[in-house]
Structure 1
Amino acid sequence: MKKDYENKQVYFVGGGLASLAGAVYLIRDCAFPGENIHIIEEMKIVGGSNDGAGNSEQGYVVRGGRMLNDEAYENTWELLSSIPSLNDPDKSVRAEILEFDTAHPTHAKARLVNKEAEIVDVLSMGFDLSDRLAMAKLIITSEEKMGKARIKDWFGSHFFETNFWYMWATTFAFQPWHSAVEFKRYMIRFMHEFPRIQTLEGVTRTPYNQYDSIILPLKKYLDQFAVDFEMKCTVNDLDFKDSEGITVTAIRYTREGVQGVIEINEGDRVIVTNGSMTDGYSLGSMSIAPVLKGKGNSWKLWDTLAKKKPGLGNPSSFDDHIDGSKWESFTVTCHDSRFFDLMEKFSRNKAGSGALVTFKDSSWLMSIVLAHQPHFLDQPENVKVFWGYGLYPDNVGDCVKKRMSDCTGEEILIELLYHLQFEADREEIVKSANCIPCMMPFITSQFMPRSLGDRPQVVPEGSTNLAFVGQFCEIPDDVVFTEEYSVRAARIAVYKLFGINQEICPINQYQYDIRTLFSSFITSYR
């Protein structure tokens, strides 16, 4: 089969998880020569939103942590089953992750915390009859009828004060103004998690951050096949053949200020990551607040392409609503164990055994999570790292009377310690910590209300050589803001473009499982 592809090239625009997965499928399932695969990325490092960077001296940074699920990430686990672990080539990344997760299971004991710094009893979801009826109506209504409805269009004010909403919303980063269609998909896709949302036992943790645990093994695998990585190279536009169909004829790019063109020959393929949830991010420091930026090159490229041909989506539904899609995260590097010791005692969870701790009465709706340590491959033993985020960065803090978006890392840390009532240790904790805030204007842009067709099909109708992957293409029934969505999109793209007659792992249909339905029904009345 390799001979059939000798002179054919595949170009991935964007170096995130979807492109890396697509390259693996080409090599593994198509016997495609690695040297003919080209991954074009504008940053100096691959991995996209699966990041993990920094060091103990300057501080570590994780813009956001992706949670995995052992029962709902069908293609992700299948992919990682064929990627060797960095530590043990005889063991797959999947086996390594599941082995770690089995040894360090998640069972949160402090999911919600109130303004008195008391752990809230969250066994009850807190629903009333109107909440249950609205949920049932949401589940049975078709996406076509729902259109661009928002979550708050379906539920009354009481729903947004329930334990369920605080837990579900902060686990997945939903806002009341986000798409009711996406919320419905989540409720169906993760129906099996609904009865245990208060403990998050269904979360599968990686040994380290996702960059070290997933991206690095994928990169090493692709390097062994001589895949070509074109770094610090920005794709600005695609040329199309003058015809009714969709055929890419050239890729226009800029590298180090110099413009260039890649001619696309017959038989070549182009696979584009359209849009990015971490595009335009900005980092602050202990003494400087991050800034709010606008569209970066991934959005500008999609904007340009969508104007050229019908069927390539409508990016404005996602990238023109920064006030509705932004939030701010922060990564804290601690040079002693004081905060971790206090937090483990307060939460009754050792680091890595708990989950998000959400301060439900926080003006910023702030949450934090303490991962198993070390969280980075090169992390010294005496250094601890934790992550947090605030869903409402434009609100003024309860202790620090400033908007979160205007706060330095030190001020964000002070606000957190106030909500935990760790103020007696504040001076020592702040002195030994480095809190790096990160503003992300598009982090939940994929949740914004949308119409059918706003997200292009993975392989648009009439396309001969173009596919879209990532979080902003359309995969029926699946949920964005997940690793699985990127991996599934990559597999669909490669198989369709190359005519591979091989099964793509189907979506588990938990809504048709009588045990799951019964358990969910009982949970709604807890």
Structure 2
Amino acid sequence: MSCKPDFYQVLGLLAVLPLCYIIVELKRVKMSKETIKAYCLGGGLGSLAAAAFMIRDGGMLGSQITIFEKLPSLGGCLDGARLEDGSYSLRGGRMLTTDAYECFWGLFQDIPSIHNKGISVNEETIAFNKKHIAHSQARLVDKNRHIVDTATMNFTMHDRLEFLTLLEASEEKLGTSKITDWLSPEFFTTNFWYMWQTTFAFEPWHSAVEFKRYLHRFMNEFPRINTLAGVKRTEYNQYDSLVRPLQAWLQEKGVNFELATTVDDIAVEEIDGKVTVISVSVIGPKGAKQVAVAPDDLVIFQNGSMVDASSIGSMEQAPAKITKADSKGWTLWEKLAKGRPDFGNPAPFNTSIPESFWESFTVTFKTSEFFDKLEKMSGNKAGTGGLVTFKDSSWLMSVVLYNQPHFIGQPDDVFILWGYALYGNRVGDFVPKTMIECNGQEILTELAGHLNFDDSVFEGAICVPCRMPYITSMFMPRATSDRPKPVPASSKNLAFVSQFVEIPDDVVFTVEYSVRAAQTAVYQLLNIDREIPKITKHDKSPKVLLDSVIKSFA
């Protein structure tokens, strides 16, 4: 009897071999993703989203992911806290829309709400906004305390022609120019500019490229910019409604959080022609330590921060004037970028505080009197309006009445107001000081003057001002090369995830940008063969274009 395999045995073996190879390869990939580690440097939304994508789409174990954050809480600029005296503080919140933010909602449709069991954060937010429909009736208020008719944009034909020229210019042509390089002084007195500027926090000296990107990305908001009908809000502040649920989901998956821990250094070597992180130095509550990083491990770095060097004041004291020299918040990016052009250039973003700062304030009321008066004046119940901007104020001050309670656990007899001003280095109209010199009491005096309210409405109120020297730094004029790609061509295991990376066509100063950058970086580093949601092109919609043209001639 012959021991030689016959033709059919050989054929069968050849047919099985590819299947065996596939099984072995799948096991190898699975083992790889279960053994590689990931380190997220910074605890903002970008890092949290990156960790979620590694687990949900990359098959990594949560226990293999560590997030380092120098603050005692996560969330970055999406913060919110109750202070020791019972007052509340918010640095700010990002504008939300359900007509865009494809990556953001794609993530949060899989994150369970911690407030409403059985539904996702996405579903919770949609339900909340169906119940609390936004339609501002007092978007602008003039110096005579009259509500401005914002049905008209106040454009002249010259304004429209200049506007169109900027809108259609290529990014290469716009280059590092400012908005003022393309629009005449008269444009900055139109209703449109006051509304667009304060909705998105633009200044006339900011990047023309970023302004153009916003006009295209949010062209569907142009026809309704006076009512803010397209702006959506979370049920509570964005820390309670977004950060806490995401953190809870990551904790359930086993992600490690090391809070109150500063990343002191990132050591890199060139391996096979690629810049490779080999270790990370951190300083935490238990002292300093060196974290070894293998070449196949991942490092997600939040380069730069728009809330870096923030400081809060009190009713008696203005916020301290601190800078990146005090916080060291930009040092690591500056070090990594030196001599590495594709790691970006931080200098255009962090070298001119007068052009990149503004100041916000949070007011905690112990009675509803102020809310009652502003609701009556504006015609909007709390949570149904939007920013009320005092267009003639020297500080260009705006305030918003959120739906109450705005914090989980907020007492029924407490009411929270948030506001901000874009020109904090100008002298007030009712207080003979610049805003950055003012304490909380003086800010309330200025606000009372613009509303013509008696000071008694602020009895027992606590105003907490917050200075943010780099809050609009990502809007500063810059070249395309000043922002690194999420994964630079020269990098092996290092990704940049922040508002300071380059994502074509999308807009900074949004939660969408953080999440899209995170998804892009994770998919590239882990070779995930899955499509990233495309940016919705509202500027290609015939209806949106027609509505925008009609609005521009109103």
TM-score, normalised to structure 2's length? 0.93
Aligned residue for 2:197? 169
TM superposition shift of 1:260: 2.3
Partner of 2:470: 442
Cα deviation for residue 509 of structure 1 reads 0.9
Moved more, 386-395 or 132-141: 132-141
Is residue 55–residue 379 contact of structure 1 (8 Å, CA) maintained in 2?
no
CA deviation profile, 1:46-71 (whole Å, cap 9, x unmatched): 00000110158431001012110111
Cα distance in 2 for residues equivalent to 1:155 and 1:257: 54
Is it true that 1:269 corresponds to 2:277 in the alignment?
no
1:402 paired with 2:433, answer yes
Deviates more, 1:129-138 or 1:247-256: 247-256
Distance of 1:126 and 1:13 partners within structure 2: 46
Alpha-carbon distance in 1 for matches of 2:278, 2:83: 43
**1:190 equivalenced with 2:243 (yes/no):** no
CA RMSD of aligned residues (A): 1.2
What are the equivalent positions in structure 2 for 1:195-234 lying under 5 Å apart?
195-234=223-262
Residue 47 of structure 2 aligns with which residue? 19
Which amino acid letter does the alignment assign opposite residue 435 of structure 2? M
Shift of 1:258: 3.6
For 2:117 and 2:58, the matched residues in 1 are separated by 23
| Shift of residue 20, structure 1, vs aligned partner | 0.7
Amino acid at match of 2:420: Y
Question: Does residue 1:149 correspond to 2:177, yes or no?
Answer: yes
Residue 79 of structure 1 corresponds to which residue in structure 2? Answer: 107
Deviation >6 Å, runs of 4+: none
- Further displaced range: 251-260 or 394-403: 251-260
Quote the Cα distance in structure 2 between the aligned partners of 1:233 and 1:80: 27
Q: Does 1:289 align with 2:318?
A: yes
Given that 1:56 and 1:379 are in contact with CA atoms closer than 8 Å, whether structure 2 keeps it comes out as: no
Taking the aligned partners of 2:533 and 2:198, their CA distance within structure 1 comes to: 28
Structure 1 letter corresponding to 2:248: K
After superposition, where does 1:269-418 map in structure 2 within 5 Å?
A: 269-295=298-324, 296-418=327-449
User: In structure 1, what is the Cα distance between the partners aligned to 2:227 and 2:53?
Assistant: 35
CA–CA separation in structure 2 for the residues paired with 1:230 and 1:277: 22
SS state at 2:275 partner = coil
Query: Is the 1:97–1:207 contact (alpha carbons within 8 Å) kept by the matching residues of 2?
Result: yes
- What are the superposed Cα offsets for residues 172-224 of structure 1, whole Å, 9 maximum, x if unpaired? 00000000000000000000000000000000110000000000000100010
Aligned residues of 2:274 and 2:490 also touching (Cα < 8 A)? yes
CA distance in 1, matches of 2:398, 2:321: 21
Separation (CA, whole Å) in 2 of partners of 1:452 and 1:384: 44
User: Alignment partner for residue 251 of structure 1, among 271, 274, 280?
Assistant: 280
Question: What is the deviation of 1:2?
Answer: 4.1
Matched residues in 2 for 1:317 and 1:512: separation? 32
**What CA deviation, in whole Å up to 9, does each residue of 1:488-511 have, x standing for no partner?**
001001000000010111001112
Moved more, 254-263 or 342-351: 254-263
| CA–CA distance in structure 2, aligned partners of residues 257 and 134 of structure 1 | 58
CA distance in 2, matches of 1:274, 1:302: 6
2:541 maps to which residue?
513
Q: CA deviation at 1:308?
A: 4.9
Identify the range of structure 1 (435-444 vs 59-68) with the bigger mean alpha-carbon deviation: 59-68
Q: Is residue 60 of structure 1 aligned with residue 91 of structure 2?
A: no
Q: Counterparts of 1:176 and 1:516 in 2: how far apart (Å)?
A: 26
Give SS of 2:529's match: coil
Name which one, 1 or 2, has greater alpha-carbon Rg: 2
Give the CA deviation at 1:150.
0.3
Aligned counterparts of 1:160 and 1:509: Cα–Cα separation in 2: 27
Deviates further, 59-68 or 302-311: 302-311
Give the whole-Å Cα distance in 2 for the aligned partners of 1:436 and 1:481. 23
SS in 2 for 1:96: helix
